[in-house]
Amino acid sequence: MQHRRVPADDNKGVNEYQNERDSDGNGIRVPASYYVSLGSVENGSDQRRVQAKIDDPLQYMFTQDIDVIDGEFSQNDEFDFPTALKEAGIVDTVKMITTPLAKGKFLLRLSNIADVADADAETKKVNKTQVIEAMWKEGNKNNAQAEMNQFTVVETSITGNIKMGDMRSRRLQWETVDDDILVKKDLDFKVYDVISLEPQRIRAFEVKFEI
């Protein structure tokens, strides 16, 4: 909704018409950008890509304690973070979000935003190990001599509050009268360096570095 103002009550609950105004009594001005996506079944839709561009949150990591070490350090000028992510599979309809959890620990959330109704929707492959290594190199770009510590990766639910293995083992499967005609998704739950992302699928991984 662009303007939350109507000339009369719409009889949908609140016994007054909607008329949001600012402190001066004028209608609230809302800056907005509109996108018109033109496409076809043959060429595919750009709707999800534009949506991802608009909605992508700021990716951030932070620290409160910085140890300054004396000595000369060479910068890794040959490393390019965007290129490294593309080589790992973060391209096209693949979306990546990282959330800090603790020191040396974060949640890596990967999703394939391709719409299953699109003719060009396909399962994407992402090398999560390359993604993690690229993040390490970017964080230590000014110290080419830094050696990456060992790390563990555990797949979790998309909210990150339970391990995927535990969630699947505790999942209830209700029996109904039409179980034989239900369409069940054949998802790949294997966790190797390279993982599968079917259209509209989200996978989350808890990454923890040894410190």
Query: How far is residue 124's CA from residue 82's CA, in Å, rounded to a whole number?
Result: 18
Residue 85 and residue 134 in contact, taking contact as beta carbons nearer than 8 Å? yes
104 within domain boundaries = yes
Query: How far is residue 138's CA from residue 156's CA, in Å, rounded to a whole number?
Result: 25
Residue 138 and residue 98 in contact, taking contact as beta carbons nearer than 8 Å? no
14 within domain boundaries = no
7 within domain boundaries = no
26 within domain boundaries = no
CATH number for the domain that contains residue 89: 2.60.40.1360
34 within domain boundaries = no
23 within domain boundaries = no
Identity of the residue numbered 170: R
Residue 165: left if φ>0, alpha if ψ -120 to 50, beta else—which one? Answer: alpha
pLDDT-based confidence at residue 106 (cuts at 50, 70, 90): very high
pLDDT at 1 over 70: no
- Strands 124-127, 194-197: pairing kind: antiparallel
> Mean pLDDT: which of 56-60, 109-113, 119-123 is highest?
109-113
pLDDT digits (tens, 9 = 90+) for 38-96: 766 666 667 777 777 777 767 666 665 655 555 555 666 788 888 999 999 998 889 99
pLDDT-based confidence at residue 111 (cuts at 50, 70, 90): very high
Count of domains observed in the chain = 1
pTM, rounded to two decimals:
0.70
User: Residue 69: what pLDDT?
Assistant: 57
Domain that holds residue 114: 47-174+181-209
Q: What angle do CA 151, 193, 200 make, to 5 degrees?
A: 110
pLDDT digits (tens, 9 = 90+) for 169-193: 887 777 888 777 766 666 777 778 9
125 within domain boundaries = yes
135 within domain boundaries = yes
